[in-house]
Amino acid sequence: MSADPVAITRDLLRCPSVTPAEGGALAFLEKTLKAADFTVHRMTFSEPGTDDVENFYARIGTEAPNLVFAGHTDVVPPGDETAWRHAPFSGEIDKGELYGRGAVDMKGGIGCAVAAVLDHLAANGGKPKKGSISFLITGDEESIAVNGTPKLLTWVAEHGETFDHCILGEPSNQDELGDTIKIGRRGSLNGTLIVHGKQGHVAYPQRADNPVRGLVKLVDAIQNEPLDAGNANFQPSNLEFTSIDVGNKTVNLIPGEARARFNIRFNDCHTQESLRTLIEGRAAKASGGKINFSFKWEPSNANVFVTQPGPFTELVATAVADVTGRKPELSTTGGTSDARFITNYCPVVEFGLVGQTMHAVDERVPLADLRALTTIYRKIIDRYFA
């Protein structure tokens, strides 16, 4: 292994790239990949009311197939830095582990992909054995994902770039490296149920209309029945109420309005439109025309997707098993990722490090896992172009 994934990841960790700050991470990647003869583009995208975000696309080769490694260099804030064993942006190594915010989510995955690609190029005269290799890197994954991957993909397509397959280096593994490949994600939809009543004094309830009673009834009706039973690729969809609020600071006042916020994680039995229809229908049936209610639905770019198992997923799974000795589960569990955007351009799977410490104090990764993941990526590249 000529390129060192530990050193590359360590340099990335020393860049304080908390969303939306670039923090030097993309500049480091630009310098590293330009030295390997990649054509590199850095672009900043904007949207009214949001932070500007810098993004990165690099490619070596001009022919198909184009294998893409995707990821994000932005990280969540470290929180109380005094609670960390090592400073979150120091990239310290301690007892065989590399510490730093983003070590597993997901600068470690990017570091391994870069190292694997550089090794492949070195073994083939400085260029891919055939076809092309690209990097699609954003700085907006940990935020609202507006000025990141969606716009980066549009920019790439407008410039005539096409992809054949993509590996997203998110920390897909649950407990051990090699236990899980993500082939899909459930969608996510947020909403608020609002029950409208009439404010009044608690001593004179006949003069008021308490919305809390109606809210409790509708909440129960909405979540009383399962949304579906799941299927071969997905676990059942679930709706969870996460807050109930009446904005009432006193106990002798019947509120005029009551709200309940909820989130739905849904599989491919539904679309966002069909879910809204289903939930609103349940509320209407339960109200019997006697409860004045409405829904406020938030815009969502988190749709459900699945990459059907086939030759590409088998290639990745075989490389994982060869290195780790484990047959990975093909899973669609977990939250959302930028794969939901990439799937509109090419088949995508997620495979990276173990996610046990992501977003936690003392986020860290074993050095052995960085080297093993690099070996897996190198096998995938070599076999993909064989």
Residues annotated as catalytic are 74, 141
Angstrom distance (rounded) from CA 57 to CA 76: 22
DSSP code string of 231-261: -SS-PPPEEEEEEEE-----SSEE-SEEEEE
Question: Does 280 appear as a known binding residue?
Answer: no
Residue 149 near residue 137, CB atoms below 8 Å: no
Question: Quick check: helix, strand or coil at residue 39?
Answer: strand
CA 290 – CA 375 distance, rounded (Å): 64
Contacts of 276 (CB under 8 A, 6+ apart): 189, 191, 295, 297
Q: Is 363 annotated as a binding residue?
A: no
The structure tokens 């896992």 sit at: 369
Cα gap 200→177, rounded to integer Å: 59
Strands across the sheet containing 132-138? 39-45, 53-60, 132-138, 66-72, 165-168, 348-350, 180-182, 329-331
105 annotated as belonging to a binding site for a ligand: yes
State yes or no: 359 annotated in a binding site.
yes
Closest of 32, 24, 26 to residue 7, by C-alpha: 32
Residue 65: is the preceding peptide bond cis (ω within 30°)? yes
> Residue 312 is which amino acid?
F
Decide if 257 contacts 195 (C-beta within 8 A).
yes
Determine whether the annotation assigns residue 257 to a binding site: no
State the binding site for Zn(2+).
Answer: 72, 105, 142, 170, 359
State the binding site.
Answer: 72, 105, 142, 170, 359
